[in-house]
């Protein structure tokens, strides 16, 4: 456990290492999944190709979708994409950046699955055993004696050693070696191609759109943080709301009881109880409410947050002006109005 | 456990150490990859050489590219190379230094693969079994040339029925393995001698220039990291104030519409400016983080300027309008944010 914690700390030392670490972990998980999977070729002419194609393509798709689903930022991207512009314009470059970075991370596990499948060779062997060139590898002279369906049925059994009965035509090991060799060559070519693509994308990017890239990175990070802070502020507000609501309830109860026993013994109780002085904490809680004190107001606030996001311009009380690009000239000295510095 | 902790701390101590750590990790991954890879020579005449040589050269290429990808400095180097000059002139020596350090580290994993493959011998045997001269071995005296070629092609496959338990196969296989290991060890020796000479003789040439370049390449890395961290802090404060602003606006909007009930008896004074009074003056670190960059256009301008016109490497130049830290001066907002960055040394 301690070892894992330290490896984790090392990988977290900077953002870049952390991402590399995540990529490594996903690659390992994918490879582990493949080795745990029990490949089972049907060894029948029509079914081999379908089974192999399924094994080669379906798990990568599932892994890709899983990678997207497990990424918390997917909902953030969807939200940013579908929100009404409100007072803040939408920037397609930011959306593109967010989508690209999520897709890149989600593509790692599928790529590793495909690479490991090809390098292992069982899938390829199962799919293409009926396409082996018998005339080159085996006793080509005997091949014409068989009808194509017979030949196909015979060759389809190559992946299954216990039922293969075609050694007189083609030695099983020869066919297996041939197909596995091609599969491994394809696998390594695939690996080389993907690393080359990744390298070109990563290295060539700074040559072109570096300034735009910095902006997109900043704003996508901003959107993430803003969402988290809004949730935290709402939670704080809800807590304060609940506290004040409950306090008021108890005060009201107390008041009712007082009224009910006005002629009773409690009439002699200290007057302070009848007119409840709010305890010290209540004032603080009321302040935290920031004036949003009823259900309708809260609902309006939340609707407005979604429908009409505030402009990216701080420190001004301006009337709503289209989107966040209101004016750019020098402004007269502004009054600082927002002074809420509750430390989140 | 203690020594692992010390080891990890050492590797985290500087960016060069981090790169060394990643390089070692990649080498370890290569070893594991090689040992778990199932070598499968096709034992067919033309395919052997292709497979053997392909396996000797393709994975190293892929590992080299992975080494470049995993290294942060490769991207930094390209950025430093392609950036506009701005206020900071470019030094090709630094770029060359970064390039060579990146290449050296990226070459470690491919070399490990090649050496492992040569010392193991399977690749070499597979690739060159068909090119062996049959004259060297007595067992081929009474075989026709085509039979010899067929036999030689099957030498890498021990279990094949044609060559099973054949002393000729074992002889050829041993010969090729011996050759492969000799080449492998020679390359290892050569590399180590080159590395040793390079390390020892470097101080004889331009040591001061080397020290400068190492310093400035480390600086570029750290500066980029700190810029990213500062942007994160800024984004956090920006978002915080934006959210609070939003709540305040909601409240004033509602008051403007007269939707607040019973304000008179509950809160006689509008609770617009409660809260800690240190909000405006100096504002602790909250305000200082924002550094008066408070709108989308300003942030965009800041980031563009950072890229197109990096500040000069001169901390004492032009004190500028902002004599101190923090504090909100409306005049400062009309100055291009990029210039102000050079004054901020509160790292």
What one-character DSSP code corresponds to residue B9?
H
In a domain, B292, yes or no: no
Is the same domain home to B119 and B229?
Answer: no
Asked if B160 and B237 sit in the same domain, the reply is no
| Closest CB from B236, B243, B308 relative to A211 | B308
DSSP sequence for B70-88: H-HHHHHHHHHHHS--TTS
Same domain, yes or no, for B175 and B228?
A: no
Residue B252 domain flag: no
- Please report, in tens digits, the pLDDT of each residue of chain A (344 residues total): 676 676 666 555 555 566 667 777 888 889 899 989 999 999 998 899 999 999 999 999 999 998 888 777 888 888 888 888 878 888 888 999 889 888 888 899 999 999 999 999 999 999 999 888 888 888 777 777 788 888 888 889 999 988 888 888 888 888 999 999 999 999 999 999 999 999 998 888 888 878 888 888 888 888 888 888 888 888 888 888 888 888 888 888 888 888 887 655 544 544 444 444 455 566 777 777 777 778 888 888 888 888 888 887 776 544 444 344 344 444 444 444 444 433 33
Question: Does residue B199 lie in a domain region?
Answer: yes
Which residues form the domain of B213? 206-246
Distance in angstroms (rounded) separating the CA atoms of residues A127 and A21: 35
Give the gap in angstroms from C-alpha A261 to the nearest C-alpha of chain B. Answer: 26
List B295's β-bridge partners, or say none: A313
Compute the distance between CA of residue A226 and CA of residue B236 in angstroms, rounded to an integer: 7
Check residue B84 and give its pLDDT: 85
Residue B260 located in a structural domain: no
| Within a domain: B75 | yes
Q: How far is CA B338 from CA A29, A222, B301, B312, in A?
A: 44, 20, 8, 11
Out of B137, B171, B204, pick the residue that ends a domain: B204
B211 and B126 both lie in a single domain: no
* Co-location of B145 and B234 in the same domain: no
B340, part of any domain: no
The answer, for A291 touching chain B at a CB cutoff of 8 Å, is yes
Select from B54, B295, B333 the Cβ nearest to the Cβ of A312.
B295
Which residues are CB-neighbours of B97 under 8 A, at least 6 positions away? Answer: B210, B213, B214, B217
Residue among A6, A210, A341 whose CB faces B79 most closely: A210
B254 in a domain, yes or no?
A: no
Shortest Cα–Cα distance, A262 to chain B (Å): 24
A chain contacts of residue B8, beta-carbon cutoff 8 Å: 6-7, 9-10
pLDDT of residue B6: 73
User: B74 and B131 share a domain?
Assistant: yes
Which candidate, A249, A327, A344, A312, places its Cα nearest to that of A87? A312
Mean pLDDT in order along chain B per 10 residues (347 residues): 69 76 92 92 90 94 93 89 85 91 94 96 93 82 84 88 84 94 97 92 84 89 88 88 83 73 46 37 47 74 78 62 36 40 39
Query: Which member of B58, B274, B283 has the closest CB to residue A188?
Result: B58
Selected for mutation to probe chain B from A27, A112, A215 (highest B CB count within 10 Å) is: A215
Of B204, B230, B264, the residue that ends a domain is B204
pTM for the model stands at 0.76
Regarding whether B70 and B165 lie in a shared domain, the answer is yes
- SS3 label, residue A313: strand
- Give yes or no: residues B151 and B212 share one domain: no
Same domain membership, residue B159 and residue B86:
yes
DSSP reduced 3-state for B295? strand
ipTM for this model: 0.76
pLDDT tens profile A188-244:
999 999 999 999 988 888 888 788 888 888 888 888 888 888 888 888 888 888 888
Same domain? For B96 and B212 the reply is: no
How many separate domains does chain B show? 2
User: Is residue B77 assigned to a domain?
Assistant: yes
Which residues of chain A from 187 to 206 reach within 8 Å of chain B, CB to CB?
Answer: 188-189, 191-192, 195-196, 198-199, 202-204, 206
Q: Are residues B118 and B55 in the same domain?
A: yes
Contacts with B244 from chain A: Cβ below 8 Å: 233, 338, 340, 342
Phi, psi (degrees; rounded to nearest 5) at B73: -65, -20
Whether B87 and B42 map to the same domain: the answer is yes
């Amino acid at each position: 456990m301690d070892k894992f914690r330290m490896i984790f700390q090392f990988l977290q030392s900077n953002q870049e290492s952390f991402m590399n670490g995540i990529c490594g972990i996903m690659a390992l998980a994918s490879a582990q999944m493949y080795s745990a999977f029990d490949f089972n070729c049907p060894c029948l002419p029509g079914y081999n190709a379908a089974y192999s194609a399924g094994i080669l393509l379906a798990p990568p798709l599932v892994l890709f979708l899983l990678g997207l689903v497990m990424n918390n930022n997917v909902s953030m991207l969807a939200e940013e994409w579908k929100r009404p512009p409100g007072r803040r314009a939408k920037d397609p470059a930011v959306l593109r950046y967010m989508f690209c970075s999520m897709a890149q991370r989600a593509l790692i596990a599928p790529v590793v699955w495909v690479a490991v499948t090809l390098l292992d060779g069982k899938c390829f062997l199962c799919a293409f055993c009926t396409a082996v060139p018998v005339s080159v590898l085996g006793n080509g002279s005997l091949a014409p004696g068989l009808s194509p369906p017979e030949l196909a049925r015979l060759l389809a059994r190559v992946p299954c050693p216990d039922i293969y009965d075609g050694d007189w035509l083609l030695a099983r090991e020869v066919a297996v070696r041939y197909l596995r060799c091609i599969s491994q060559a394809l696998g390594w070519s695939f690996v080389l191609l993907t690393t080359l693509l990744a390298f070109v994308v990563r290295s060539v990017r700074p040559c072109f759109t570096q300034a735009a890239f910095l902006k997109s990175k900043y704003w996508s990070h901003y959107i993430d943080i803003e969402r988290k802070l809004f949730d935290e502020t709402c939670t704080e507000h809800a807590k304060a709301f609940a506290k004040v609501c409950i306090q008021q309830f108890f005060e009201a109860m107390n008041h009712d009881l007082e009224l009910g026993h006005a002629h009773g013994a409690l009439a002699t109780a200290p007057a302070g109880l009848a007119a409840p002085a709010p305890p010290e904490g209540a004032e603080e809680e009321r302040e935290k409410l920031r004036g949003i004190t009823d259900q309708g107001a809260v609902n309006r606030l939340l609707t407005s947050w979604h429908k009409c996001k505030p402009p990216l311009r701080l420190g001004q009380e301006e009337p709503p002006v289209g989107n966040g690009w209101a004016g750019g000239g020098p402004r007269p000295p502004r009054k600082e109005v927002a002074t809420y510095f509750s430390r989140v | 456990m203690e020594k692992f902790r010390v080891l990890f701390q050492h590797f985290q101590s500087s960016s060069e150490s981090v790169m060394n750590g990643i390089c070692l990790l990649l080498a370890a991954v290569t070893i594991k990859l090689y040992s778990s890879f199932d070598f499968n020579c096709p034992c067919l005449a033309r395919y052997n050489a292709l497979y053997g040589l392909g396996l000797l050269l393709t994975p190293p290429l892929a590992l080299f590219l992975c080494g470049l990808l995993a290294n942060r400095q490769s991207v930094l180097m390209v950025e430093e190379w392609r950036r506009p000059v701005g206020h900071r002139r470019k030094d090709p020596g630094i770029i060359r230094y970064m390039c060579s350090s990146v290449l050296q580290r990226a070459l470690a994993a491919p070399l490990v693969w090649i050496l492992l493959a040569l010392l193991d011998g399977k690749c070499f045997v597979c690739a060159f079994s068909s090119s062996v001269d049959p004259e060297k071995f007595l067992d081929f005296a009474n075989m026709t040339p085509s039979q010899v070629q067929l036999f030689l092609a099957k030498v890498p496959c021990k279990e094949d029925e044609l060559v099973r338990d054949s002393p000729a196969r074992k002889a050829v296989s041993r010969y090729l393995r011996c050759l492969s290991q000799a080449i492998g060890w020679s390359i290892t020796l050569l590399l180590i001698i080159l590395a040793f000479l390079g390390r020892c003789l470097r101080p004889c040439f331009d040591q001061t220039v080397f020290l400068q370049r190492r310093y400035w390449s480390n600086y570029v890395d750290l500066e980029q990291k700190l810029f990213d961290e500062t942007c994160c802090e800024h984004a956090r404060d920006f978002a915080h104030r934006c959210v609070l602003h939003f709540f305040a606006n909601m409240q004033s909007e509602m008051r403007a519409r007269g939707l607040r009930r019973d304000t008179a008896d509950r809160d006689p004074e509008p609770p617009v400016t409660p809260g800690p009074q240190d909000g405006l003056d100096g504002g602790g670190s909250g305000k200082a983080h924002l550094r008066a960059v408070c709108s989308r256009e300003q942030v965009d301008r800041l980031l563009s300027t950072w890229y197109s016109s990096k500040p000069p490497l001169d901390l004492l130049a032009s004190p500028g309008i902002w004599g101190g830290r923090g504090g909100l001066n409306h005049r400062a907002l009309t100055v291009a944010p990029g210039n102000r960055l050079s004054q901020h040394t509160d790292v």
